[in-house]
Structure formats: C-alpha cells, structure tokens
Structure 1
Amino acid sequence: MNASAIVADIRKGIAAGEHAYGARLPSVRDLAEQYGVSQQTASAAYAVLSALGLTRTAAGSGTTVAAGPSADAHLGTYAPPDLTAAEAWRPNGSGGEATEDTYLVRQLTASAALADWGFTEGADVVERHRIRRVGGIPVQHKVTVLSYAVASARPEGYDGVPPMLAPVGAPPIRPPHGTRVADWLGWNVDRTEARITAEPMDPAASEALGMQEGSPGFRVVNITRTPDGETLYVTVTTAPLHHRITLDIIG
C-alpha cells in the first residue's frame, strides 16, 4: 500500500463522519503498523492530508482531524442563454500561448463507478483525454466521457468520422463560428451540474501533468443532462492546487 491509498482511506472516513472533527488520529508509528507500511510512507500520507486541509499536526497533540463530514457547497443551477459567449479556459497573466491536445481516445464498457454520473453499467462509452498547456507547461488534464450513441452523432450533412470519435492525430473538426458543439451535433442540452472538490489526483491526471501520483489538486466534474435528466456527457478537469477555479455565469 502506498501513501495515496492511505490518504484515500482516511479521507473517506472523515467524509463519512467516522473520524470526528478534532479527533486524534494514530501516531505515525501506529499508522504505519495499522497499514503495514514504513513510517516514511505513513508520514507522507499525513503530509498530504495536512496539505488538503483535512488534518492538523501540532507538537504535543499529534495529528487531529480538521474537517467535518462531506457536504456540498452548491454554487447554483443556471442555464446561460448563449453558451458561445463563455470561455472554456484561459491562462492568467502573460504565461505564454495556450494550447490543447487530445492524446487518448478509447471505447470502454461503463463500470459501476460511472453510475454516479448517470451512465448504465455495461454500456459502451467513449473517453477522450486532453492536456492543456500554457507556454508548453501542462496545467490542466481533461477527460470527456460520453455514451457511444452520443459520441457517434454527426452534424447535419456531414458524412465523415463523427467529431467525437476522431482518433488521436486527426485534424480537429470544429463547428461553425458562433455555434455550440452541442447544437451542431444535435444534443438536447438542458443543464450542466458542476461538482468541485480538492482531492488527490488520479493516476491519469498525475501522469499527464507530470506530478507525483496522489498530489492534491482541484477536480471539477461537469455533468451535462437532457431535459429528461439523462446524462449526455461528463467532463472531469484536474488542475494543481496553485491554480484557480473560476466561474462566469452569463445571464
């Protein structure tokens, strides 16, 4: 077991209320024995928990829980009248040119974990992985998940490979200026729900961003639904904690 697995386990306990706010956690030595790891690994796990603001370590009192059970900070539900006016992302200051590359496109069978996003377990889904850079430095990792039926949509009068199924290295296929991708592809978009958390990065994001696995980062999950509440697609954006998460509400 590594430090990130210990962090995930303790974080789960804090979120569920199993480790109460202010409760004292095991010493580094006891934690190492509990999980069968070295004291160095146990100490690294506590360092990550502290960086996430979940624990506090002080001389004489050890490591205590500094967060309560998990709760949602709901920012609101909104439907902008003109999503073409929104910027998907932007660099701050003069950090250099902003670029984006798709580096992985694959078809998978939906796992049980995707049910929380509204996908049916066992259904065919498509994953598209992108990396965003500023001045050549990776700053965001983004995964888009769609059902195969949604991904295979083509614009009216278009006979080529469906844009969302275009392989890595293919020239980008973009809608006419001023047209939303969703409208261009005939998706019946009603709303998007955003879930923003700070937590250890998953392996794919860590590797893409060149960071140690389990490093803390922002995780933004956007779930786009139809008027009937069915999931059209989900995007998961990961960024290091020293970046910012901004939101513009239009209308």
Structure 2
Amino acid sequence: MNATAIAAEIRDGISTGRYRHGTRLPAVRALAEEHGVSQQTIAAAYAQLAALGLVRTEPGSGTVVTAGRTAEAHLGSFGPPDLSIPIWKAPSNSEAREATTLVRQLPAPPDMATWGIADTDIVERTRVRWVDDAPVQHKITIVPYELASRRPEGYEGVPPLLAPVGAARMAPPAGVRFADWLGWNVERTDTEISAEAMDQAAAAALGVAEGTPAFRIVSIARDPQGGTVFVTVTTTALHHKLTLSIAG
C-alpha cells in the first residue's frame, strides 16, 4: 500500500467512528510493520491526514485524532423568501451540544464594509458545536448594534443577542423565526461557500493547526432594501458535508 491508500483507510475509520476524537493512532513503526511498508510511507500518510486537520502529530507524543465522525452542516431549506442560517445535523446515535464562547461589542472593522456593515458598532457572538465531544463547527454571528439591542415584543430583561456567555439561551416560540421574533425584516439570505485556510480563532476552537483547509460559509441576511441585517461566518473541516434543500 502507498501513503495515500493508508491515509484513506484511516480517514474512513475517522469518518465512521472507528478512530474516535482524541484517540492515539498506532506508532509509525508499529503501523509500518502491520502494513509491510516503510516508516516513511506511514509518516507521509499521517502528514496527509494532518494537512486535512484530521490528526495532529506532536514530537514525542505520537499522532492523535482531532476530528470526529463525519456529520452534516445543513444550510437549511430554500423557499422564498428565506434561506435558513446553518444548523448542524449530528450523525445518528451520537450526542450533539453547542455553547456560546464569546460575546463582544466593537466598532465594525473596515473589512466588514464588503458585507454592507460600516460606520457602526456591532455585536459579535461566537458559538462552537460539538458532536460526541469532538468540536465540529465554529460560527460567528455579526449584527449591527441597533438591531442586536432589540427585544421581542413583551419581552423584559437583557436583549437576547446581548446576553453574556453562560446565560441561558433565549429562543423564540415554536414555529417563529428568530429574525421575526426580534422584528428584523429579512427578505433574503445570500450565502457564499469556499474552501479557505482556517483563521486562528476557528483553528483554536476546532483543535487543529492554523491554516488547516476548511469550508467557510458566509451568509448575509438582507432586508427588502438590500441592507445587511446580520452575517454568519461558519467554519467546519473539509472532513464534513454540506447539505442544502431546495423546495419549489
């Protein structure tokens, strides 16, 4: 077997859960003997997996699996006038959880002007999702402060989008979109999906090296005048799948 075939075999084991997140893979020498190949071949296979963010090799500590089972980043169901923001679909017989890890208010950086956000303060909220204790998704939501500070009708207390880390998550009534609950007039959502190198924040949250290739999903929700209501930037490893349903 060559390095690519061995890497594919291990990648399949990670995808199906045979090699779980945090598992230490066999030592290079042991796996080389098992497959009857050179240690250089195994080292090359591990390097391929590391480049995809599936494992991390540390001198003296061996190679550890940094990914979980393959799951789906479901981008929602398309039907006029809305495309839902990304949600996570965990594999069957698995446990999923998520948490807000950062909430902050700051002036909109200049590069957000390309998203239609400029000359205003924003609220930035970061959430991380895990499946079977493996981090699978890093998501930042950016909202102009004027919209983030809104309270639903009849609601008292801290506006939902200004709630700090650790606060109970506020949710709209069943069947009501979050945007409608807050009185945001969202007419459409434009989504851009690309393969990009992970930035420092996403890489740290997902436990991989900065620069690891990943899916980057930027969704911009707009009002009828084309103004930006909010932006989500979702990062997930190429190991996972993106799905989308289109109705009509």
TM over 0.5: yes
Q: Deviations over 1:37-71 (max 9, x none)?
A: xxxxxxxxxx99xx79xxxxxxxxxxxxxxxxxxx
Within the candidate set 216, 221, 235, 1:219 is matched to 216
In the alignment, which residue of structure 1 is the partner of 2:90? Answer: 91
In the alignment, which residue of structure 1 is the partner of 2:116? Answer: 118
Distance 1:83 1:179, change over 3 A: farther
1:250 equivalent in alignment to 2:237: no
Q: Does the 8 Å CA contact 2:81/2:187 hold for their aligned counterparts?
A: no
- Give the TM-score, by structure 2 length: 0.66
Instruction: Indicate the structure whose relative CO is greater, using CA pairs within 8 Å and at least 6 residues apart.
Output: 2
1:40-79 residue pairs with structure 2 within 5 A?
A: 79=79
Q: How many residues align structurally?
A: 175
Q: Which runs of 5+ in 1 are unaligned?
A: 1-46, 53-77
In the alignment, which residue of structure 2 is the partner of 1:233? Answer: 230
Q: Does the 8 Å CA contact 2:142/2:232 hold for their aligned counterparts?
A: yes
* Per-residue deviation, 1:89: 2.0
In the alignment, which residue of structure 1 is the partner of 2:168? Answer: 171
Aligned sequence identity (%) = 57
Q: Give, in whole Å, the separation in 2 of the partners of 1:150 and 1:240.
A: 31
Q: Give, in whole Å, the separation in 2 of the partners of 1:82 and 1:228.
A: 15
* Per-residue deviation, 1:87: 7.6
Q: Give, in whole Å, the separation in 2 of the partners of 1:233 and 1:88.
A: 16
Distance 1:211 1:199, change over 3 A: same
Higher strand share: 2
1:105 equivalent in alignment to 2:92: no
* Per-residue deviation, 1:97: 0.9
Q: Does the 8 Å CA contact 1:126/1:145 hold for their aligned counterparts?
A: yes
Distance 1:82 1:204, change over 3 A: closer
Q: Does the 8 Å CA contact 1:141/1:205 hold for their aligned counterparts?
A: yes
| Aligned-CA RMSD value | 2.1
Q: Which runs of 5+ in 2 are unaligned?
A: 1-46, 53-77
Q: Does the 8 Å CA contact 1:196/1:218 hold for their aligned counterparts?
A: yes
Residue type of the alignment partner of 1:230: G
Q: Does the 8 Å CA contact 2:82/2:187 hold for their aligned counterparts?
A: no
